[in-house]
A and B are shown apart, each in its own frame.
Chain A
Protein backbone atom coordinates (compact mmCIF):
# COMPACT_ATOMS: atom_id res chain seq x y z
CA UNK A 1 0.00 0.00 0.00
CA UNK A 2 2.94 2.28 0.59
CA UNK A 3 3.59 2.26 -3.14
CA UNK A 4 0.36 4.18 -3.51
CA UNK A 5 1.65 7.09 -1.40
CA UNK A 6 2.20 9.88 -3.90
CA UNK A 7 5.18 12.22 -3.68
CA UNK A 8 3.01 15.12 -2.58
CA UNK A 9 0.86 13.25 -0.10
CA UNK A 10 3.91 11.63 1.47
CA UNK A 11 4.98 15.04 2.75
CA UNK A 12 1.58 16.64 3.25
CA UNK A 13 0.01 17.19 6.66
CA UNK A 14 -3.16 18.76 7.95
CA UNK A 15 -3.14 21.02 11.00
CA UNK A 16 -6.05 23.04 12.32
CA UNK A 17 -7.96 22.24 9.14
CA UNK A 18 -5.17 23.66 6.97
CA UNK A 19 -3.34 21.58 4.41
CA UNK A 20 0.43 21.97 4.40
CA UNK A 21 2.16 20.54 1.32
CA UNK A 22 5.10 19.68 3.53
CA UNK A 23 5.75 19.93 7.29
CA UNK A 24 8.50 22.59 7.18
CA UNK A 25 7.65 26.19 8.08
CA UNK A 26 9.89 29.13 8.89
CA UNK A 27 9.67 30.54 12.44
CA UNK A 28 8.51 33.97 13.48
CA UNK A 29 11.19 36.64 13.75
CA UNK A 30 13.72 34.70 11.74
CA UNK A 31 12.28 35.12 8.26
CA UNK A 32 11.09 38.74 8.22
CA UNK A 33 8.04 39.12 6.05
CA UNK A 34 9.24 36.56 3.50
CA UNK A 35 10.39 38.92 0.76
CA UNK A 36 13.82 39.42 2.34
CA UNK A 37 14.66 35.79 1.64
CA UNK A 38 13.31 35.68 -1.91
CA UNK A 39 16.80 36.13 -3.45
CA UNK A 40 18.19 33.21 -1.43
CA UNK A 41 15.60 30.45 -1.41
CA UNK A 42 12.49 29.23 -3.19
CA UNK A 43 9.69 30.52 -0.97
CA UNK A 44 7.09 28.50 -2.86
CA UNK A 45 8.68 25.28 -1.65
CA UNK A 46 8.06 26.04 2.01
CA UNK A 47 5.24 24.42 3.92
CA UNK A 48 4.52 27.83 5.41
CA UNK A 49 5.91 31.15 6.53
CA UNK A 50 5.26 32.54 10.01
CA UNK A 51 5.90 36.27 9.91
CA UNK A 52 7.57 38.49 12.50
CA UNK A 53 5.39 39.07 15.60
CA UNK A 54 2.77 41.77 15.03
CA UNK A 55 1.33 44.20 17.56
CA UNK A 56 -1.48 46.73 17.33
CA UNK A 57 0.91 49.67 16.99
CA UNK A 58 4.43 49.64 15.48
CA UNK A 59 7.10 48.94 18.09
CA UNK A 60 10.60 50.45 18.18
CA UNK A 61 12.24 47.55 20.00
CA UNK A 62 15.12 47.43 22.48
CA UNK A 63 18.43 49.28 22.52
CA UNK A 64 21.51 47.41 21.22
CA UNK A 65 23.37 45.15 21.49
CA UNK A 66 20.35 42.99 20.76
CA UNK A 67 22.05 39.74 19.79
CA UNK A 68 25.05 37.77 20.94
CA UNK A 69 26.33 34.44 19.76
CA UNK A 70 26.69 31.67 22.36
CA UNK A 71 27.89 28.07 21.92
CA UNK A 72 25.78 26.57 19.10
CA UNK A 73 23.20 29.25 19.56
CA UNK A 74 22.40 32.88 20.07
CA UNK A 75 20.69 35.15 22.53
CA UNK A 76 18.32 37.80 21.26
CA UNK A 77 16.50 40.69 22.85
CA UNK A 78 14.94 42.39 19.85
CA UNK A 79 12.07 43.72 21.91
CA UNK A 80 9.46 42.62 19.39
CA UNK A 81 10.21 45.49 17.00
CA UNK A 82 7.66 45.35 14.19
CA UNK A 83 5.80 47.46 11.65
CA UNK A 84 2.41 47.08 13.37
CA UNK A 85 -0.60 45.21 12.13
CA UNK A 86 -1.94 47.87 9.74
CA UNK A 87 1.34 48.35 7.83
CA UNK A 88 1.70 44.61 7.70
CA UNK A 89 -1.66 44.27 5.98
CA UNK A 90 -1.03 47.15 3.58
CA UNK A 91 2.65 46.72 2.81
CA UNK A 92 3.62 43.11 3.44
CA UNK A 93 0.54 41.05 2.58
CA UNK A 94 0.45 41.93 -1.16
CA UNK A 95 3.77 40.10 -1.60
CA UNK A 96 2.95 37.26 0.78
CA UNK A 97 -0.46 36.43 -0.64
CA UNK A 98 1.03 35.74 -4.08
CA UNK A 99 3.26 32.97 -2.71
CA UNK A 100 2.32 29.33 -3.08
CA UNK A 101 2.67 28.66 0.62
CA UNK A 102 0.68 29.12 3.82
CA UNK A 103 1.11 32.49 5.49
CA UNK A 104 0.68 32.59 9.25
CA UNK A 105 0.60 35.83 11.23
CA UNK A 106 2.30 35.72 14.63
CA UNK A 107 0.66 38.14 17.06
CA UNK A 108 1.29 39.49 20.53
CA UNK A 109 0.06 42.17 22.90
CA UNK A 110 0.58 43.58 26.34
CA UNK A 111 -3.02 43.09 27.42
CA UNK A 112 -5.71 40.58 26.54
CA UNK A 113 -7.55 43.38 24.72
CA UNK A 114 -4.46 44.05 22.57
CA UNK A 115 -4.27 40.43 21.48
CA UNK A 116 -7.95 40.41 20.66
CA UNK A 117 -7.76 43.59 18.60
CA UNK A 118 -4.72 42.51 16.54
CA UNK A 119 -6.42 39.20 15.83
CA UNK A 120 -9.66 40.91 14.83
CA UNK A 121 -7.85 43.16 12.33
CA UNK A 122 -6.16 40.18 10.70
CA UNK A 123 -9.27 38.05 10.49
CA UNK A 124 -10.50 37.88 6.93
CA UNK A 125 -7.35 39.40 5.38
CA UNK A 126 -6.99 37.69 2.01
CA UNK A 127 -4.11 35.25 1.79
CA UNK A 128 -3.72 34.72 5.52
CA UNK A 129 -4.01 31.07 6.57
CA UNK A 130 -3.86 31.15 10.36
CA UNK A 131 -2.84 33.07 13.46
CA UNK A 132 -0.06 32.05 15.79
CA UNK A 133 -0.41 33.62 19.25
CA UNK A 134 2.90 34.38 20.94
CA UNK A 135 2.05 34.16 24.64
CA UNK A 136 5.66 34.65 25.78
CA UNK A 137 5.00 38.38 25.98
CA UNK A 138 4.98 40.31 29.30
CA UNK A 139 1.51 41.09 30.63
CA UNK A 140 1.66 44.77 31.62
CA UNK A 141 -1.43 44.48 33.82
CA UNK A 142 0.16 41.63 35.79
CA UNK A 143 3.50 43.27 36.56
CA UNK A 144 5.13 42.13 33.34
CA UNK A 145 4.94 38.39 33.98
CA UNK A 146 4.58 36.59 30.67
CA UNK A 147 1.08 35.38 29.77
CA UNK A 148 2.67 32.12 28.73
CA UNK A 149 3.88 31.09 32.18
CA UNK A 150 0.57 31.39 34.03
CA UNK A 151 -2.01 28.83 32.85
CA UNK A 152 -5.03 31.00 33.71
CA UNK A 153 -3.59 34.01 31.84
CA UNK A 154 -2.70 31.88 28.81
CA UNK A 155 -6.26 30.58 28.87
CA UNK A 156 -7.67 34.12 28.94
CA UNK A 157 -5.61 35.25 25.93
CA UNK A 158 -6.39 32.21 23.83
CA UNK A 159 -10.12 32.19 24.53
CA UNK A 160 -10.33 35.94 23.85
CA UNK A 161 -8.62 35.54 20.48
CA UNK A 162 -10.46 32.37 19.58
CA UNK A 163 -13.85 33.94 20.27
CA UNK A 164 -13.15 36.96 18.07
CA UNK A 165 -11.82 35.36 14.88
CA UNK A 166 -12.73 32.75 12.31
CA UNK A 167 -9.11 32.01 11.39
CA UNK A 168 -7.53 28.85 12.80
CA UNK A 169 -5.48 29.62 15.91
CA UNK A 170 -2.10 28.13 16.84
CA UNK A 171 -0.80 28.95 20.32
CA UNK A 172 2.97 29.28 20.61
CA UNK A 173 4.12 28.11 24.01
CA UNK A 174 6.92 29.43 26.18
CA UNK A 175 9.44 26.86 27.46
CA UNK A 176 10.07 28.93 30.57
CA UNK A 177 7.58 26.93 32.63
CA UNK A 178 7.79 24.10 35.14
CA UNK A 179 5.43 21.72 33.34
CA UNK A 180 4.62 22.24 29.66
CA UNK A 181 1.74 19.74 29.88
CA UNK A 182 -0.20 22.10 32.14
CA UNK A 183 0.10 24.84 29.53
CA UNK A 184 -0.93 22.54 26.69
CA UNK A 185 -4.07 21.56 28.58
CA UNK A 186 -4.87 25.19 29.46
CA UNK A 187 -4.69 26.47 25.89
CA UNK A 188 -6.49 23.46 24.43
CA UNK A 189 -9.29 24.03 26.89
CA UNK A 190 -9.37 27.65 25.71
CA UNK A 191 -9.99 26.36 22.20
CA UNK A 192 -6.65 26.56 20.42
CA UNK A 193 -6.59 24.56 17.19
CA UNK A 194 -2.93 23.62 17.54
CA UNK A 195 0.14 24.40 19.66
CA UNK A 196 3.65 25.31 18.57
CA UNK A 197 6.70 25.01 20.80
CA UNK A 198 9.20 26.09 21.87
CA UNK A 199 9.79 29.81 21.91
CA UNK A 200 13.25 30.91 23.11
CA UNK A 201 14.60 29.96 26.53
CA UNK A 202 15.59 32.86 28.78
CA UNK A 203 19.35 33.19 29.04
CA UNK A 204 22.22 35.56 29.72
CA UNK A 205 25.89 36.05 28.81
CA UNK A 206 28.51 38.24 30.44
CA UNK A 207 31.60 40.00 29.04
CA UNK A 208 34.05 39.21 31.83
CA UNK A 209 36.62 41.83 30.78
CA UNK A 210 34.08 44.65 30.94
CA UNK A 211 31.92 42.95 33.60
CA UNK A 212 28.89 43.83 31.54
CA UNK A 213 26.01 41.78 30.23
CA UNK A 214 26.50 41.24 26.50
CA UNK A 215 22.89 42.24 25.77
CA UNK A 216 21.70 45.76 26.56
CA UNK A 217 18.64 44.28 28.28
CA UNK A 218 20.94 41.85 30.15
CA UNK A 219 18.76 38.80 29.56
CA UNK A 220 17.39 37.51 26.27
CA UNK A 221 16.04 34.46 24.49
CA UNK A 222 18.29 31.54 23.57
CA UNK A 223 17.74 29.84 20.21
CA UNK A 224 19.62 27.57 17.84
CA UNK A 225 20.94 24.00 18.08
CA UNK A 226 21.87 24.55 21.74
CA UNK A 227 18.18 24.33 22.72
CA UNK A 228 17.19 21.41 20.50
CA UNK A 229 17.28 18.58 23.08
CA UNK A 230 15.14 20.67 25.44
CA UNK A 231 12.70 21.42 22.65
CA UNK A 232 12.44 17.77 21.57
CA UNK A 233 11.81 16.75 25.19
CA UNK A 234 9.07 19.37 25.56
CA UNK A 235 7.38 18.37 22.31
CA UNK A 236 7.42 14.77 23.44
CA UNK A 237 5.94 15.74 26.84
CA UNK A 238 3.31 17.89 25.14
CA UNK A 239 2.42 14.99 22.87
CA UNK A 240 1.59 12.85 25.91
CA UNK A 241 -1.38 15.07 26.74
CA UNK A 242 -2.22 16.99 23.55
CA UNK A 243 -5.39 16.27 21.62
CA UNK A 244 -4.59 18.81 18.88
CA UNK A 245 -1.61 18.90 16.50
CA UNK A 246 1.79 20.09 17.67
CA UNK A 247 4.31 22.12 15.68
CA UNK A 248 7.86 21.53 16.90
CA UNK A 249 10.40 24.38 17.06
CA UNK A 250 13.90 24.73 18.46
CA UNK A 251 17.35 24.42 16.96
CA UNK A 252 16.41 22.62 13.78
CA UNK A 253 19.23 22.85 11.22
CA UNK A 254 18.64 19.78 9.05
CA UNK A 255 16.06 17.21 7.95
CA UNK A 256 17.34 14.83 10.59
CA UNK A 257 16.69 17.41 13.31
CA UNK A 258 13.18 18.00 11.97
CA UNK A 259 12.49 14.25 11.96
CA UNK A 260 13.40 14.02 15.66
CA UNK A 261 10.51 16.37 16.42
CA UNK A 262 8.07 14.56 14.16
CA UNK A 263 8.88 11.17 15.63
CA UNK A 264 8.55 12.68 19.12
CA UNK A 265 5.03 13.84 18.28
CA UNK A 266 5.08 16.97 16.10
CA UNK A 267 2.92 17.16 12.97
CA UNK A 268 5.13 19.88 11.51
CA UNK A 269 8.17 21.95 12.41
CA UNK A 270 9.41 25.50 12.19
CA UNK A 271 12.96 26.50 11.37
CA UNK A 272 14.30 29.66 12.99
CA UNK A 273 17.94 30.54 13.65
CA UNK A 274 19.11 28.15 10.91
CA UNK A 275 17.75 30.58 8.30
CA UNK A 276 20.47 33.04 9.29
CA UNK A 277 23.14 30.40 8.88
CA UNK A 278 21.81 29.05 5.59
CA UNK A 279 18.80 30.79 4.02
CA UNK A 280 18.07 27.59 2.13
CA UNK A 281 17.90 25.39 5.28
CA UNK A 282 14.14 24.94 5.24
CA UNK A 283 14.02 23.87 1.60
CA UNK A 284 16.96 21.53 2.16
CA UNK A 285 15.09 20.06 5.14
CA UNK A 286 12.07 19.39 2.91
CA UNK A 287 14.30 17.54 0.43
CA UNK A 288 15.96 15.58 3.22
CA UNK A 289 12.65 14.57 4.80
CA UNK A 290 11.37 13.42 1.43
CA UNK A 291 14.46 11.32 0.91
CA UNK A 292 13.98 9.76 4.37
CA UNK A 293 10.30 9.03 3.71
CA UNK A 294 11.14 7.24 0.48
CA UNK A 295 13.90 5.25 2.08
CA UNK A 296 11.63 4.17 4.95
CA UNK A 297 8.58 3.77 2.68
CA UNK A 298 6.47 5.94 4.90
CA UNK A 299 4.76 9.32 5.09
CA UNK A 300 4.93 12.24 7.51
CA UNK A 301 1.44 11.33 8.75
CA UNK A 302 2.60 7.85 9.70
CA UNK A 303 5.75 9.14 11.28
CA UNK A 304 4.12 11.60 13.70
CA UNK A 305 4.57 10.37 17.27
CA UNK A 306 5.98 7.06 16.07
CA UNK A 307 8.65 6.92 18.76
CA UNK A 308 9.10 3.32 19.80
CA UNK A 309 8.70 2.18 23.39
Chain B
Protein backbone atom coordinates (compact mmCIF):
# COMPACT_ATOMS: atom_id res chain seq x y z
CA UNK B 1 0.00 0.00 0.00
CA UNK B 2 1.22 3.43 -0.87
CA UNK B 3 2.37 5.78 1.82
CA UNK B 4 4.73 8.70 1.65
CA UNK B 5 8.20 7.42 0.70
CA UNK B 6 10.73 7.51 3.48
CA UNK B 7 13.96 9.27 2.59
CA UNK B 8 17.52 9.08 3.81
CA UNK B 9 18.38 12.36 5.54
CA UNK B 10 22.00 11.49 6.29
CA UNK B 11 24.23 8.44 6.31
CA UNK B 12 27.39 9.36 8.16
CA UNK B 13 30.38 7.26 9.03
CA UNK B 14 31.04 7.59 12.77
CA UNK B 15 34.20 5.47 12.81
CA UNK B 16 35.70 2.73 10.65
CA UNK B 17 32.74 0.30 10.65
CA UNK B 18 30.02 2.35 12.29
CA UNK B 19 27.35 4.54 10.71
CA UNK B 20 24.47 6.81 11.67
CA UNK B 21 21.53 6.98 9.31
CA UNK B 22 18.70 9.47 9.60
CA UNK B 23 15.44 8.64 7.83
CA UNK B 24 12.60 11.10 7.30
CA UNK B 25 9.35 9.49 8.26
CA UNK B 26 6.20 10.83 9.87
CA UNK B 27 6.52 8.12 12.46
CA UNK B 28 3.73 6.44 14.30
CA UNK B 29 4.20 6.19 18.08
CA UNK B 30 7.44 4.39 18.83
CA UNK B 31 8.18 2.57 22.08
CA UNK B 32 11.79 2.26 23.28
CA UNK B 33 13.15 -1.10 22.12
CA UNK B 34 11.17 -1.40 18.89
CA UNK B 35 12.86 -2.11 15.56
CA UNK B 36 12.42 -1.75 11.80
CA UNK B 37 13.01 -4.01 8.79
CA UNK B 38 15.01 -2.24 6.10
CA UNK B 39 15.32 -3.26 2.47
CA UNK B 40 18.89 -2.33 1.71
CA UNK B 41 18.63 -2.81 -2.07
CA UNK B 42 15.98 -3.30 -4.76
CA UNK B 43 18.05 -6.15 -6.16
CA UNK B 44 18.03 -9.80 -5.11
CA UNK B 45 21.32 -9.89 -3.22
CA UNK B 46 20.84 -9.68 -0.36
CA UNK B 47 17.23 -10.69 -0.80
CA UNK B 48 15.77 -10.30 2.66
CA UNK B 49 15.26 -7.17 4.72
CA UNK B 50 17.63 -6.47 7.58
CA UNK B 51 16.46 -5.71 11.13
CA UNK B 52 17.74 -2.62 12.95
CA UNK B 53 16.80 -1.17 16.30
CA UNK B 54 15.31 2.32 16.38
CA UNK B 55 18.01 4.35 18.09
CA UNK B 56 16.44 7.77 18.26
CA UNK B 57 13.33 9.64 17.17
CA UNK B 58 14.04 12.80 15.22
CA UNK B 59 11.92 15.90 15.63
CA UNK B 60 10.58 18.04 18.46
CA UNK B 61 11.82 16.95 21.90
CA UNK B 62 9.66 14.88 24.19
CA UNK B 63 7.36 13.61 21.47
CA UNK B 64 6.94 9.90 20.86
CA UNK B 65 5.81 10.74 17.33
CA UNK B 66 8.58 12.23 15.27
CA UNK B 67 9.53 13.46 11.85
CA UNK B 68 12.06 10.70 11.42
CA UNK B 69 14.22 8.06 13.04
CA UNK B 70 17.91 7.51 13.49
CA UNK B 71 19.56 4.12 13.06
CA UNK B 72 23.06 3.16 14.11
CA UNK B 73 24.62 0.26 12.35
CA UNK B 74 27.82 -1.66 12.10
CA UNK B 75 29.03 -2.92 8.74
CA UNK B 76 29.34 -6.69 9.16
CA UNK B 77 28.39 -8.13 5.78
CA UNK B 78 26.87 -7.53 2.40
CA UNK B 79 23.63 -5.90 3.49
CA UNK B 80 25.16 -3.40 5.86
CA UNK B 81 27.93 -2.67 3.34
CA UNK B 82 25.32 -1.73 0.73
CA UNK B 83 23.46 0.32 3.33
CA UNK B 84 26.63 2.28 4.01
CA UNK B 85 26.76 3.37 0.35
CA UNK B 86 23.20 4.71 0.25
CA UNK B 87 22.95 8.45 -0.34
CA UNK B 88 21.01 11.24 1.37
CA UNK B 89 17.89 12.04 -0.62
CA UNK B 90 17.37 8.41 -1.69
CA UNK B 91 14.09 6.69 -0.91
CA UNK B 92 14.48 3.87 1.56
CA UNK B 93 12.03 1.03 2.14
CA UNK B 94 11.42 0.62 5.88
CA UNK B 95 8.74 -1.41 7.68
CA UNK B 96 7.96 -0.67 11.29
CA UNK B 97 7.94 0.06 14.11
CA UNK B 98 7.91 -3.64 14.97
CA UNK B 99 7.91 -5.76 18.11
CA UNK B 100 7.20 -4.83 21.68
CA UNK B 101 9.58 -2.47 23.45
CA UNK B 102 10.89 -2.49 27.01
CA UNK B 103 8.31 -2.30 29.78
CA UNK B 104 8.61 0.97 31.69
CA UNK B 105 10.30 0.39 35.06
CA UNK B 106 8.16 1.15 38.06
CA UNK B 107 8.83 0.42 41.69
CA UNK B 108 12.53 -0.36 41.20
CA UNK B 109 15.26 1.28 43.24
CA UNK B 110 17.87 1.27 40.51
CA UNK B 111 17.77 0.87 36.74
CA UNK B 112 20.85 -0.80 35.23
CA UNK B 113 21.28 -0.91 31.47
CA UNK B 114 23.75 -3.44 30.13
CA UNK B 115 24.85 -3.21 26.51
CA UNK B 116 27.35 -5.13 24.43
CA UNK B 117 28.44 -3.67 21.08
CA UNK B 118 25.45 -2.55 19.01
CA UNK B 119 23.27 -3.63 21.92
CA UNK B 120 23.37 0.06 22.82
CA UNK B 121 20.84 0.86 20.14
CA UNK B 122 17.53 -0.20 21.67
CA UNK B 123 18.48 1.32 25.05
CA UNK B 124 18.92 4.92 23.96
CA UNK B 125 15.27 6.04 23.93
CA UNK B 126 14.76 4.41 27.32
CA UNK B 127 17.92 6.02 28.71
CA UNK B 128 16.70 9.45 27.56
CA UNK B 129 13.56 8.99 29.62
CA UNK B 130 15.36 7.70 32.71
CA UNK B 131 18.18 10.09 33.50
CA UNK B 132 19.02 8.38 36.76
CA UNK B 133 19.82 5.04 35.15
CA UNK B 134 23.25 3.41 35.12
CA UNK B 135 24.70 2.27 31.81
CA UNK B 136 27.26 -0.50 31.64
CA UNK B 137 28.76 -0.88 28.21
CA UNK B 138 31.01 -3.62 26.93
CA UNK B 139 32.97 -3.62 23.69
CA UNK B 140 35.89 -5.39 22.15
CA UNK B 141 37.96 -2.28 21.53
CA UNK B 142 37.91 1.51 21.54
CA UNK B 143 36.53 1.77 18.00
CA UNK B 144 33.24 0.30 19.19
CA UNK B 145 32.74 2.95 21.84
CA UNK B 146 31.98 5.84 19.44
CA UNK B 147 28.33 6.16 20.41
CA UNK B 148 28.85 6.17 24.15
CA UNK B 149 29.24 9.95 24.11
CA UNK B 150 25.56 10.27 23.16
CA UNK B 151 24.64 8.67 26.47
CA UNK B 152 27.19 10.64 28.48
CA UNK B 153 25.40 13.86 27.45
CA UNK B 154 22.62 13.15 29.91
CA UNK B 155 23.70 10.17 32.02
CA UNK B 156 26.05 10.49 34.95
CA UNK B 157 26.62 6.81 35.56
CA UNK B 158 28.23 5.34 32.49
CA UNK B 159 30.86 2.62 32.88
CA UNK B 160 32.73 0.99 30.04
CA UNK B 161 34.70 -2.23 29.81
CA UNK B 162 36.70 -3.24 26.73
CA UNK B 163 38.16 -6.69 26.17
CA UNK B 164 41.54 -5.26 25.14
CA UNK B 165 41.54 -2.49 27.74
CA UNK B 166 41.82 0.26 25.09
CA UNK B 167 38.97 2.20 26.67
CA UNK B 168 37.57 2.10 30.22
CA UNK B 169 38.18 -0.98 32.29
CA UNK B 170 39.83 -4.08 30.77
CA UNK B 171 37.38 -6.93 31.00
CA UNK B 172 33.78 -7.90 30.40
CA UNK B 173 30.66 -5.85 30.95
CA UNK B 174 29.19 -8.65 33.05
CA UNK B 175 31.98 -8.06 35.57
CA UNK B 176 30.74 -4.48 35.90
CA UNK B 177 27.23 -5.82 36.38
CA UNK B 178 28.37 -8.06 39.27
CA UNK B 179 29.61 -4.92 41.02
CA UNK B 180 26.62 -2.71 40.32
CA UNK B 181 23.77 -5.09 40.97
CA UNK B 182 21.86 -4.68 44.22
CA UNK B 183 18.50 -5.90 45.40
CA UNK B 184 15.59 -3.89 44.08
CA UNK B 185 17.36 -3.18 40.77
CA UNK B 186 15.96 -3.85 37.33
CA UNK B 187 18.17 -4.74 34.39
CA UNK B 188 17.66 -3.89 30.73
CA UNK B 189 20.16 -5.72 28.56
CA UNK B 190 20.98 -6.07 24.89
CA UNK B 191 24.01 -7.58 23.19
CA UNK B 192 25.45 -10.92 22.12
CA UNK B 193 23.65 -14.04 23.40
CA UNK B 194 26.63 -15.11 25.52
CA UNK B 195 26.59 -11.79 27.35
CA UNK B 196 22.83 -11.90 27.84
CA UNK B 197 23.01 -15.43 29.20
CA UNK B 198 25.61 -14.28 31.75
CA UNK B 199 23.62 -11.20 32.68
CA UNK B 200 20.54 -13.32 33.13
CA UNK B 201 22.39 -15.71 35.45
CA UNK B 202 23.74 -12.81 37.52
CA UNK B 203 20.25 -11.34 37.79
CA UNK B 204 18.78 -14.65 38.86
CA UNK B 205 21.38 -15.12 41.61
CA UNK B 206 20.66 -11.62 42.90
CA UNK B 207 16.92 -12.18 42.55
CA UNK B 208 16.67 -9.15 40.29
CA UNK B 209 14.27 -8.66 37.37
CA UNK B 210 16.04 -8.64 34.02
CA UNK B 211 14.66 -7.77 30.58
CA UNK B 212 16.67 -8.72 27.53
CA UNK B 213 16.34 -7.66 23.90
CA UNK B 214 17.25 -10.61 21.66
CA UNK B 215 18.54 -10.83 18.11
CA UNK B 216 17.89 -13.69 15.70
CA UNK B 217 18.16 -13.69 11.96
CA UNK B 218 14.79 -12.63 10.59
CA UNK B 219 13.11 -13.23 7.25
CA UNK B 220 9.79 -11.43 7.73
CA UNK B 221 10.01 -9.45 10.99
CA UNK B 222 6.24 -9.62 11.52
CA UNK B 223 5.59 -13.09 12.91
CA UNK B 224 4.63 -15.01 9.77
CA UNK B 225 7.68 -17.03 8.71
CA UNK B 226 8.18 -18.44 12.24
CA UNK B 227 11.91 -18.33 11.59
CA UNK B 228 13.19 -16.25 14.51
CA UNK B 229 12.22 -18.74 17.21
CA UNK B 230 13.79 -18.88 20.66
CA UNK B 231 12.86 -21.45 23.26
CA UNK B 232 11.09 -20.36 26.41
CA UNK B 233 11.78 -22.01 29.74
CA UNK B 234 9.37 -24.81 30.60
CA UNK B 235 6.58 -23.52 32.81
CA UNK B 236 5.04 -25.38 35.67
CA UNK B 237 2.63 -27.94 34.31
CA UNK B 238 3.93 -27.95 30.75
CA UNK B 239 6.59 -30.50 29.95
CA UNK B 240 8.83 -28.50 27.66
CA UNK B 241 9.18 -24.88 26.67
CA UNK B 242 7.44 -23.47 23.66
CA UNK B 243 8.99 -21.46 20.86
CA UNK B 244 8.49 -17.73 20.87
CA UNK B 245 9.15 -15.41 17.97
CA UNK B 246 11.74 -12.71 18.61
CA UNK B 247 10.10 -10.35 16.10
CA UNK B 248 6.50 -10.55 17.23
CA UNK B 249 6.62 -11.89 20.81
CA UNK B 250 9.76 -9.83 21.55
CA UNK B 251 12.39 -8.66 20.86
CA UNK B 252 12.22 -7.86 24.59
CA UNK B 253 11.68 -10.79 26.93
CA UNK B 254 11.80 -11.34 30.67
CA UNK B 255 15.10 -13.21 30.98
CA UNK B 256 13.50 -15.71 33.37
CA UNK B 257 11.24 -16.87 30.50
CA UNK B 258 14.10 -17.82 28.19
CA UNK B 259 15.68 -21.28 28.04
CA UNK B 260 19.29 -20.07 27.92
CA UNK B 261 20.66 -23.60 27.52
CA UNK B 262 18.85 -23.93 24.18
CA UNK B 263 21.33 -21.64 22.41
CA UNK B 264 24.21 -23.32 20.63
CA UNK B 265 26.87 -20.75 21.53
Contacts and interface: CB of A to CB of B under 8 A. Distances in A.
B1 A64 contact: no
Nearest to A71: B45
Interface in B24-65: 39, 44-49
B228 A64 contact: yes
A292 interface: no
B1 A40 contact: yes
List 4 tightest A-B contacts by C-beta distance, closest first: A67-B227, A32-B224, A276-B220, A72-B44
B224 A273 contact: no
Contacts of B168: none
Interface in B207-224: 216-224
Interface residues of A, number: 39
20 contacts: A31-B224, A32-B222, A42-B1, A60-B240, A60-B243, A65-B216, A66-B226, A67-B218, A67-B225, A68-B217, A69-B46, A69-B48, A72-B47, A74-B47, A74-B48, A74-B219, A78-B226, A224-B47, A253-B44, A276-B48
Interface of B: 1, 39, 44-49, 93, 95, 216-231, 240, 242-243, 262, 264
B225 A225 contact: no
A277 B227 contact: no
A64 B216 contact: yes
Looking at chain A's contact residues, the main secondary structure is loop
Interface of A: 29-32, 36-37, 40-42, 52, 60-69, 71-74, 76, 78, 81, 212, 216, 224-225, 253, 273, 275-280
Given A78-B226, A216-B264, A278-B93, 18 more contacts: A31-B224, A32-B222, A36-B222, A36-B224, A37-B224, A52-B226, A63-B262, A64-B231, A66-B226, A66-B229, A67-B219, A69-B48, A72-B44, A81-B229, A225-B44, A275-B220, A276-B225, A279-B95
Contacts, number: 99
Nearest to B3: A40
B223 A41 contact: no
Given A67-B219, A276-B220, A61 B47 contact: no
Nearest to A66: B227
Given A29-B225, A40-B95, A64-B230, A273 B216 contact: no
Contacts of A30: 220, 224-225
A209 B225 CA distance: 27
Contacts of A37: 222, 224
B49 A276 contact: yes
Contact of B227 (A78, A278, A280): A78
Contacts of A29: 225-226
A69 B47 contact: yes
Contacts of A67: 217-219, 225, 227-228
A222 B264 CA distance: 23
Contacts of B262: 63
Contacts of B230: 64
Contacts of B231: 63-64
Contacts of A61: 226, 229, 243
Nearest to A253: B44
Contact of B1 (A224, A277, A280): A280
Listed residue (A64, A76, A225, A273) with the most chain B CB atoms within 10 angstroms of its CB: A64
A146 to B, nearest CB: 20
Given A61-B243, A68-B217, A225-B44, A78 B225 contact: yes
Contact of B47 (A32, A212, A216, A273): A273
Contact of B217 (A41, A69, A278): A69
Contacts of B218: 67
A275 B243 CA distance: 23
Contacts of B47: 69, 72-74, 224-225, 273, 277
Contacts of A66: 226-229
Nearest to B240: A60
A276 B231 CA distance: 23
Contacts of B49: 276-277
A73 B227 CA distance: 14
A7 to B, nearest CB: 20
Listed residue (B1, B221, B228, B240) with the most chain A CB atoms within 10 angstroms of its CB: B1
Contacts of A60: 240, 242-243
